[in-house]
């Protein structure tokens, strides 16, 4: 645990109950839950009137700028149950050349284990610790497994992780080195999830799949809380979010509602753009078809492995947020993703992951289509450090023992 002053004393949390995201049925807090009886994600609810009476924006502003400054809006009740590797507030980086004068990137690659998965998994693991869960299994395309392995190892929870066979090698090795048992599977992430689900039915472990426990959303919503505070308690005109399971988009939408209920922001909302790859775009198809649930995407493929999710259990929550915000679900081709990554690196010096590149590609398409204006302040989410992904070769070589052609250099 860090020695941050924000973590040194218990503060009350204000969780009242959990609620089925589909039916509204109430569930008791402080006991182990998976999905609701309707087979849908559970949402954590708080007594926001009491929070409002006890905590102010000034109180938040006076605290160290890390994830745990938001303790009253998070589910972990006891400081002793917090598991931390130093979850900093991530910066907003202007992308003026490859994006535009009003384009900001929230660079989530600065978090522990190098991705925004740290936000969700630190919260989920802390609650697993608090609730006495001792063995966890999860499917992953890479970064979520790395975050789970790190935090679970930190607090002594046994972890088994299943990855599609083409998961980037660096992710697989990272998961293994940080203490999880990791298995490659000849299939996609939902195939891995089926193995996890069957093992959970047999009582072998607790299923930590995306949205199949209630607390990853609560960690991911801190992106929205941070964003509001960083922008002076207002929100941008649009948010472009790389969407696979969609936990972060769902979480931010929840965060904005909670902030408004506290009186810390107004009713205005950004347009939420759910960005997917053209080779795996179930949310985009459902959005365009005007339906609430997405069919499984067959033959899913994309260079942006983190958003290669053929089916999302929270599909209807993603679609509701996009529609309520008057946003759009957009798909971008792999060549546009790679071009965006290259442009951001060579023009702005910011190394995006492929999923982050997808948001820049989608912003460019939205701008060209008139869905946003050049003067609109927009935020793109770079969900992981680009250092984890393959890069083009740099083959130049110099023999210092031979005459050097300095003009060529």
- Spell out the residues 6+ positions from residue 177 whose beta carbon is closer than 8 angstroms to its own: none
Read off the pLDDT band of 3 (50, 70, 90): very low
Say yes or no to pLDDT of 11 above 80: no
pLDDT in tens, 207-236: 999 889 999 999 999 999 999 999 999 999
Q: Which fold has domain 92-113+215-388?
A: Rossmann fold (3.40.50)
Query: What residue ranges do the domains of the chain occupy?
Result: 5-81, 92-113+215-388, 117-207
Read off the pLDDT band of 328 (50, 70, 90): very high
Taking Cα atoms as reference points, which of 132, 121, 182 lies closest to residue 157?
A: 132
Residue 287 · residue 328 · CB < 8 Å: yes
Alpha-carbon distance 219 to 76, whole Å?
Answer: 10
pLDDT in tens, 264-305: 999 999 999 999 999 999 999 999 999 999 999 999 999 998
Q: What tokens were used for 238? A: 């649009």
Alpha-carbon distance 43 to 23, whole Å?
Answer: 11
Alpha-carbon distance 98 to 342, whole Å?
Answer: 9
Residue 292 · residue 321 · CB < 8 Å: no
pLDDT at 10: 57
Read off the pLDDT band of 345 (50, 70, 90): very high
Question: What's the sign of the alpha-carbon dihedral 63, 157, 185, 39?
Answer: negative
Mean pLDDT, residues 372-390 taken together: 96
- Please state whether beta strands 135-139 and 206-207 pair in parallel, antiparallel, or not at all (unpaired): parallel
Q: pTM for the full model? A: 0.93
pLDDT at 390: 87
Length of the chain counted residue by residue: 409
Mean pLDDT, residues 151-166 taken together: 96
> Same topology for domains 92-113+215-388 and 117-207, yes or no?
yes
CATH of domain 117-207: 3.40.50.1100
Backbone angles phi, psi at 207, to 5 degrees: -80, 115
Backbone angles phi, psi at 352, to 5 degrees: -90, 150
Q: HEC states along the chain?
A: CCCCHHHCCCCCCCEEEEEECCCCCEECCCCCCCCCCCCCCEEEEECHHHHHHHCCHHHHHHCCCEHHHHHHHCCCCCHHHCCCCCCECCCEEECCCCCCCCEEEEEHHHCHHHECHHHHHHHHHHHHHHCCCCEEEEECCCHHHHHHHHHHHHHCCEEEEEEECCCCHHHHHHHHHCCCEEEEECCCHHHHHHHHHHHHHCCCCEECCCCCCCCHHHHHCHHHHHHHHHCCCCCCCEEEEECCCCHHHHHHHHHHHHHHHHCCCCCCCCEEEEEEECCECHHHHHHHHCCCCCCCCCCCCCCCHHHCCCCCCCHHHHHHHHHHCCCEEEEECHHHHHHHHHHHHHHHCCCECHHHHHHHHHHHHHHHCCCCCCCCCEEEEECEEHHHCCCCCCCCCCCCCCCCCCCCC
pLDDT in tens, 64-110: 999 999 999 999 999 999 999 999 999 999 999 999 999 999 999 99
Read off the pLDDT band of 6 (50, 70, 90): very low
């Amino acid at each position: 645990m860090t020695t941050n002053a924000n973590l040194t004393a218990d503060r009350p949390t204000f969780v009242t109950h959990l609620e089925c995201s589909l039916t509204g049925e109430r569930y008791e807090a402080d006991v182990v839950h998976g999905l609701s009886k309707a087979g849908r994600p559970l949402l954590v609810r708080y007594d926001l009137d009491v929070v409002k009476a006890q905590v102010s924006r000034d109180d938040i502003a006076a605290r160290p700028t890390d994830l745990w400054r938001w303790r009253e809006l998070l589910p972990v009740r006891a400081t002793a149950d917090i598991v931390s590797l130093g979850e900093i507030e991530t910066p907003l980086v202007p992308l003026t050349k490859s994006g535009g004068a009003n384009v900001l990137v929230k660079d989530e690659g600065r978090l522990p284990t190098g991705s925004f998965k740290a936000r969700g998994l630190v919260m989920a693991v802390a609650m697993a610790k608090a609730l006495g869960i001792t063995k966890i299994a999860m499917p992953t395309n890479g970064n979520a497994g790395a975050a789970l392995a790190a935090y679970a190892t930190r607090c002594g929870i046994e972890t088994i992780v299943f990855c599609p066979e083409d998961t980037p090698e660096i992710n697989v090795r990272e998961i293994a080195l940080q203490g999880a048992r990791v298995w490659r599977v000849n299939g996609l992430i939902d195939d891995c999830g089926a193995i996890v689900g069957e093992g959970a039915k047999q009582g072998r472990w607790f299923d930590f799949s995306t949205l199949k426990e209630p607390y990853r959303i609560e960690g991911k919503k801190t992106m929205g809380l941070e964003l509001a505070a960083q922008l002076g308690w207002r929100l941008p005109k649009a948010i472009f979010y790389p969407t696979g399971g969609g936990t972060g988009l769902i979480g931010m939408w929840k965060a904005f509602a909670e902030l408004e209920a506290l009186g810390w922001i107004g009713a205005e909302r950004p347009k939420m753009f759910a960005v997917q790859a053209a080779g795996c775009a179930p949310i985009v198809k459902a959005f365009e078809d005007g339906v609430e649930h997405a069919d499984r995407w067959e033959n899913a493929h994309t260079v942006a492995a983190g958003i290669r999710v053929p089916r999302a259990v929270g599909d209807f929550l993603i679609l509701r947020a996009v529609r309520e915000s008057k946003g759009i679900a957009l798909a971008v081709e792999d060549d546009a993703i790679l071009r965006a990554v290259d442009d951001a690196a060579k023009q702005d010096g910011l190394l995006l992951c492929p999923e982050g590149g997808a948001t820049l590609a989608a912003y460019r398409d939205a701008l060209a289509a008139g869905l946003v204006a050049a003067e609109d302040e927009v935020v793109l989410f770079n969900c992981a450090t680009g250092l984890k992904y393959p890069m083009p070769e740099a083959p130049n070589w110099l023999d210092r023992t031979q005459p050097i052609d300095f003009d060529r250099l």
